């Protein structure tokens, strides 16, 4: 990830105007521009406990910027496109049902945006899916945004029960559950004053999981999740979003004995584990080697250490979007696709 340079911000006057336009925040975060006087919804101020930060909003955000695709898709699913001033950091196309709403929101960058480009959008609220996005080496720290009066929010799935200081993508002391994603939905719905929409979204996700896994029995089937990189592949450990998927379908993770989120594991070790099914990230970004599922399959079927794997010889592949392999609302899509894939491969039981 690029190291951020110190920048000047001559084009960011709006957040430094009269105090009537500022939100307040406790702790390291500040506030952002409020709604015009007289239009603030009842129930404010709202305070969110978020990853060790207390974030207080005096009124509902009107110019939110989402720095990661996961939070973007939650905001779009809550019908908040008209209150978004920008998005960034994309790994996959947006789901079909969100395409129209997404097209109405400016895309600040396909990857990670600069701090200046985010400030140019004049945000009154900034969200992210990962602690690293709003940390040292990311877009900017929460403290930097707070000093400019912009409150920030990070998905609780990336901080609750997770140690992000262990290097790489961090490690989890306890398995992630969809409750963390539900918590993010409810927090964001509350921040924008649309709690009923949040509850409907949570209920619809739960219903999809129940429908996808009804009657499924995949006990004893080992799955390996490959996100990206062919030289030193990122494979899923026990307890992140792939763990949620694995438990939902009743299978086993071939690397469930590591608590690292996405450990880099050599192919010789993969050959020793010889998973029954390989779940492949089908990414559209171009940051690592073997981003697409097609590139991954070409590698698996030609590399000496992998071409004789049982799953490769029998072409037992299940394809997922990158977002489905992250702790987002798309994790439910991952459950649906893996459940359907196991049935198609004869592992339904």
22 and 135, same domain (yes or no): yes
| pTM of the entire predicted model | 0.87
Which of 154, 184, 202 is the C-terminal boundary of a domain? 154
The number of distinct structural domains making up the chain is 2
Cα angle for residues 36, 39, 41 (degrees, 5° grid): 125
Residue 326 has which token pair? Answer: 């992250």
Segments of the chain with pLDDT less than 70: 1-41, 349
Query: Which pLDDT belongs to residue 43?
Result: 87
CA within 13 Å, CB half, 282: 13
Query: Which pLDDT belongs to residue 14?
Result: 39
Query: Which pLDDT belongs to residue 349?
Result: 65
22 and 149, same domain (yes or no): yes
Q: Do the domain assignments include residue 333?
A: yes
Which of 102, 132, 154 is the C-terminal boundary of a domain? 154
Backbone angles phi, psi at 19, to 5 degrees: -65, -20
**What is d(CA 164, CA 142) in angstroms, rounded to the nearest whole number?**
16
CATH code for the domain of 21:
3.40.50.1980
Query: Which pLDDT belongs to residue 29?
Result: 34
**What is d(CA 38, CA 348) in angstroms, rounded to the nearest whole number?**
57
Range of the domain at 273: 216-344
CA within 13 Å, CB half, 269: 12
3-class SS of residue 230:
coil
112 and 244, same domain (yes or no): no
Q: Do the domain assignments include residue 176?
A: no
What residue has token string 């990189």? 229
Which of 105, 130, 154 is the C-terminal boundary of a domain? 154
Residue 105 to residues 121, 190, 197, Cα–Cα distance (Å): 11, 21, 20
- pLDDT tens-digit series, residues 286-296: 888 999 999 99
225 and 150, same domain (yes or no): no
* Number of Cβ atoms within 10 Å of the Cβ of 101: 18
23 and 127, same domain (yes or no): yes
**Comparing C-alpha atoms, which of 331, 337, 290, 322 is closest to residue 90?**
322
């Amino acid at each position: 990830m690029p190291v951020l340079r110190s920048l000047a911000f001559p084009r960011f006057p709006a957040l430094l105007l009269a105090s009537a336009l500022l939100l307040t925040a406790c702790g390291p975060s500040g506030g952002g521009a409020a709604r015009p006087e007289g239009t603030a919804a009842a129930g404010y101020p709202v305070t969110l406990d978020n990853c060790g930060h207390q974030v207080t909003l005096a009124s509902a955000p009107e110019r939110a910027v989402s720095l990661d695709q996961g939070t973007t898709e939650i905001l779009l699913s809550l019908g908040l496109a008209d209150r978004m001033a920008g998005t960034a950091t994309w790994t996959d196309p947006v789901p079909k049902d969100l395409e129209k709403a997404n097209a109405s929101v400016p895309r600040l960058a396909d990857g990670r945006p600069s701090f200046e480009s985010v400030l140019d959008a004049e945000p009154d609220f900034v969200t992210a899916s990962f602690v690293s996005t709003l940390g040292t080496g990311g877009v900017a720290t929460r403290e930097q945004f707070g000093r400019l009066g912009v409150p920030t929010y990070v998905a609780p799935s990336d901080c609750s029960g997770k140690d992000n200081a262990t290097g790489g993508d961090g490690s989890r002391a306890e398995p992630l559950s969809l409750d963390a994603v539900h918590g993010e939905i409810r927090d964001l719905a509350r921040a924008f004053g649309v709690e009923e929409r949040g509850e409907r979204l949570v209920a619809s996700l739960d219903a999809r999981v129940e429908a996808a896994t009804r009657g499924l029995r995949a006990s004893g089937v080992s799955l390996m999740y490959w996100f990206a990189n062919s030289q030193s592949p990122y494979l899923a450990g026990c307890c992140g979003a792939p763990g949620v998927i694995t438990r939902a379908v009743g299978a086993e993770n071939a690397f469930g004995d590591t608590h690292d989120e996405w450990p880099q594991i050599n192919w010789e070790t993969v050959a020793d584990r010889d998973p029954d099914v390989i779940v492949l990230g089908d990414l559209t970004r171009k940051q690592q080697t073997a981003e697409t599922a097609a590139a991954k399959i070409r590698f698996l079927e030609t590399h000496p250490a992998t071409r004789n794997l049982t799953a490769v010889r029998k072409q037992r592949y299940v394809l997922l979007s990158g977002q489905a392999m992250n702790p987002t609302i798309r994790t439910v899509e991952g459950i649906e696709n893996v459940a359907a894939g196991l049935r198609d491969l004869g592992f339904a039981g």
